[in-house]
Amino acid sequence: MVTDTIQTGVRPVSGKSRRYRTQLGLPVPIHLALKEVWRNKGRFFLISSVVALITLLVLFIAGLTEGLGQGNREYIENLNAQLVVYQDKADLSIPTSRMSQATVRQLRQVDGVEAVGAVAFSNVSIPLPGGKAPLKVSLIGVLPGEPGEPDVTQGRALRSKRADETVIDAGVASRTGLKVGDMLTVRSTLGSKEQLYDLRIVGIAPSSQYFIAPSIFVPYITWDKVRPQPLSTLETGQDPDVSFNVAAVRLKNPSDAPAVSKIINAKVKEIVAVNLQTAYENTPGYSAQQSTLGLMRVFTLLIGLLVIGGFFRIQTMQKVAQIGVLKAIGTSSASVAVSSIMQILTINSFGVLLGAIMTFGLAAGLPSAVPIRFVGSAVISSVASLLVIGPLGGLASIQVLLKAEPLRALGLAS
């Protein structure tokens, strides 16, 4: 039962006789910060949830940036070559570039070049059973045994230039369930007609996405037969010497790449040789996509900064009188400021942790077709940015705290 009686009998205790002993509890700033958070769990959980949602968005954008980037560059990045050679007028665009066998022969003659492989790109789809949407894949034509052909982890590499066989990458294998020895049907078009081709799977390569699609590799001649093509090509007869896109060049000494690329550019006409990084950065849409996603990430962080800053500033302004009382009774401005910073760090860190857990939980449940990929460096830089925006946003409220006058406690603030 609650008593409401004041006892007038006083039992004075002399504090002077007491000796200081072990201090109980946390230091004042931490004590105040954590007590306020604990006793206002609902309000602070709300702002932590907002931080968590911003974290979710930032990490998803980082994951998408990496996933889409990888989807565009994976094949080129993992080429067993050091240089990619384009037609000079193609402006480093693989679909636009056209090269001839004669050029490949010339490239093989350049000092320092070990091997050259012609690589041709196109797109086909793989019909899937059970009424599922067909799987769109990059169809990559390579010369067996030459640069451009992927390493295989199961089965064997391509052997013949014209055999109806294919090496599929791990992405195709996991999404179709196909394995070495199975027949793979690809759907292509000839003019306006649909054409189906059966290919025997002889090997499985590591994931080698190109143009945000998993890849299947076929011998160059087979590629020329399977790829979608207009009727006019057949009617007019195609020139077998001009139908691949780029050449992959492997060097005797990989560290000679800058020097050899200069020699190639000087000795072989109408081509341009670049390293792998320049090659994938010039994949159509790659740079625009990466910079757009990067910008989205920056804007999301800015929004987070404003939201957190706004919340803590409003909250601090509502507490000015209370802060005045704390200062009047002898709490230093530094203690009040440290308490606020502690609070911001706690709320922000909890929000980021919650957001990270939500992100990884959600990502685990996403279909494999969603190009999202979390890599250590991108996740760490995103989390670090999110941890920094909390205290940064809170700086505005610290200014209010420091300016709060203890005179407010007496209603006398200037």
Partner 1 sequence: MANSLETQLVTKQYENAGQTIFAVDKVTINVKPGEFVALIGPSGSGKTTLLALLAGLLRPSNGSINIDGHPLWKMSDRERTKFRSEKIGFIFQSSNLVPYLSALENVELMLKLNGRLDKPGRDWAMELLDQLGLKDRMANLPSQMSGGQQQRVAIARALVHEPAVVLADEPTASLDTERAYQVVQTLGTLIHAQKRAGIMVTHDLRMTRWVDKVIRMTDGKVAQIIESKGEIEAFSRGSDH
Residues lying near partner 1 in the complex (CB under 8 A): 1-16, 18, 20-25, 28, 31-32, 35-36, 38-40, 321-322, 325-332, 406-407, 409-412
C-beta closer to partner 1: residue 25 or 376:
25
Tokens (6 digits) for 350: 């909890």
Strands 165-169 and 193-205: parallel
Q: Transcribe 349-378 into DSSP letters.
A: HHHHHHHHHHHHHHHHTS-TTS-----HHH
C-beta closer to partner 1: residue 36 or 149:
36
Q: How far apart are CA 309 and CA 276, in angstroms?
A: 43
- Are the C-beta atoms of residues 189 and 233 closer than 8 Å to each other? no
Q: Tell me the closest approach of the beta carbon of residue 339 to partner 1, in angstroms.
A: 11
C-beta closer to partner 1: residue 33 or 56:
33
Q: How far apart are CA 221 and CA 197, in angstroms?
A: 14
Torsion angle of C-alpha atoms 113, 115, 121, 125, degrees rounded to 10? -150
Q: Tell me the closest approach of the beta carbon of residue 322 to partner 1, in angstroms.
A: 7
C-beta closer to partner 1: residue 281 or 405:
405
| Per-residue exposure over 44-75, b if at least 16 CB sit within 10 Å of its own CB, e if not | bbebbebbbbbbbbbbbbbbbbbbbbbbbbbb
Q: Tell me the closest approach of the beta carbon of residue 128 to partner 1, in angstroms.
A: 59
Find where tokens 């320049």 sit: 278
Q: Nearest CA to 312 among 411, 192, 395?
A: 395
- Are the C-beta atoms of residues 79 and 87 closer than 8 Å to each other? no
Q: Tell me the closest approach of the beta carbon of residue 19 to partner 1, in angstroms.
A: 8
C-beta closer to partner 1: residue 117 or 324:
324
Q: Tell me the closest approach of the beta carbon of residue 27 to partner 1, in angstroms.
A: 8
Tokens (6 digits) for 4: 């409401």
- Are the C-beta atoms of residues 54 and 388 closer than 8 Å to each other? no
Q: Tell me the closest approach of the beta carbon of residue 48 to partner 1, in angstroms.
A: 17
C-beta closer to partner 1: residue 2 or 266:
2
Q: Tell me the closest approach of the beta carbon of residue 15 to partner 1, in angstroms.
A: 4
- Are the C-beta atoms of residues 268 and 108 closer than 8 Å to each other? no
C-beta closer to partner 1: residue 291 or 332:
332
Q: Nearest CA to 173 among 130, 151, 198, 203?
A: 203
- Are the C-beta atoms of residues 323 and 20 closer than 8 Å to each other? no
Q: Tell me the closest approach of the beta carbon of residue 36 to partner 1, in angstroms.
A: 4
At residue 336, φ and ψ (nearest 5 deg) are -65, -40
C-beta closer to partner 1: residue 125 or 315:
315
C-beta closer to partner 1: residue 180 or 402:
402
Q: DSSP state, 242?
A: S
C-beta closer to partner 1: residue 20 or 269:
20
Q: Tell me the closest approach of the beta carbon of residue 37 to partner 1, in angstroms.
A: 9
The DSSP H or E segment spanning 94 is: none
Q: Tell me the closest approach of the beta carbon of residue 321 to partner 1, in angstroms.
A: 8
> In whole angstroms, what separates CA 402 from the centre of its chain?
41
